[in-house]
Amino acid sequence: MKAFPITIRDFRPVDEAIITDGGVSVKEIKPKTMESKLVSGLYFAGEIIDVTGFTGGFNLQIAFSTANAAALG
């Protein structure tokens, strides 16, 4: 990839945006309860987490599943 530089000329408009990339690292979250490993009593679900799926239901599934785990945790 270092030998394949790309010059970004422009972005697609924000009204076409679908998923937020980046967020709280999964390395800092307990996977069974979604509780922060750094701050006790702090839970995460959905797009705030650094997980990005393809369009087609994966991001909604991530949001539902992490919220369910956090609620049960």
Ligand X SMILES: Cc1cc2nc3c(=O)[nH]c(=O)nc-3n(C[C@H](O)[C@H](O)[C@H](O)COP(=O)(O)OP(=O)(O)OC[C@H]3O[C@@H](n4cnc5c(N)ncnc54)[C@H](O)[C@@H]3O)c2cc1C
Residue 44: CB atoms within 10 A of its CB come to 21
Contact between 46 and ligand X (CB under 6 A)?
Answer: yes
Residue 44 as a binder of ligand X (CB under 6 A): the answer is: no
E strands in 1-73:
none
Q: CB under 6 A: which stretch of 3-11, 23-31, 32-40, 57-65 binds ligand X?
A: 57-65
> Is 71 among the residues that bind ligand X (CB under 6 A)?
no
35 binds ligand X (CB under 6 A): no
Query: Contacting ligand X (CB under 6 A), which of 18, 21, 39, 72?
Result: 18
DSSP annotation of 38 reads S
CA distance 69 to 63: 10
